[in-house]
Amino acid sequence: MTIVPRTVVGAPTLGLIANLLTGAFANGAELPKRSVLTLEAAQQVAQAAKKEAADHSWACVIAVVDDEGLLVTVVRMDNAAVPAGVELAPGKARTAALFRRPTSALEEAINGPRPAAITAHDFVMMSGGVPIVVDEQIVGAIGVSSDTPDHDVQVANAGVAGLTR
């Protein structure tokens, strides 16, 4: 067995390191502040979307991601219309968050003036992904996979609206 020596850093050393790391900000520079999508807020978005889907009997998969496209929460309703929705909904949400626009705009571009957009790998360029905007800042996105693209968008928009209610 090999024993590796460990260095213990004392409080004076930690204080020096902290001063060095924060020194640039002591001269008046500030880090930008941004809103973040909390788990509670993401669940509120998902629940509002789920209610909209349930009110119309559209069983679906709903995913909410943060502004970096990382999954925060996902809801798979019983009897979801498209089994692949467990992959599609998070993909739509991630795509909307990272492209900073609804995925329906990307689908329209592919079907219209910008077919080259299809070459963007690992993105879901299908309607149903909508950015979540708070104070003019994208904090995340919701992705929905139900039975039709129009239903996906309607449920996603209801989810976003649920955050401001």
Task: Map tokens 């929460």 to a residue.
Answer: 73
pTM (2 decimals)?
0.81
Say which residue the tokens 């349930």 belong to: 54
pLDDT in tens, 27-55: 678 888 889 999 999 999 999 999 999 99
Q: How far is residue 108 CA from its own chain's centroid?
A: 21
* Pair of tokens at residue 100: 């900073």
Report the DSSP beta bridge partners of residue 110: none
Domains and CATH numbers, the chain: 39-164 (3.30.450.150)
DSSP annotation of 117 reads G
Residue appearing with tokens 């996902």: 74
Over 90: is that where the pLDDT of 13 sits?
A: no
How many residues in total does the chain contain?
A: 165
* More confident of the two residues 25 and 105: 105
pLDDT per residue over 105-138, tens digit each? Answer: 999 999 999 988 888 889 999 999 999 999 999 9
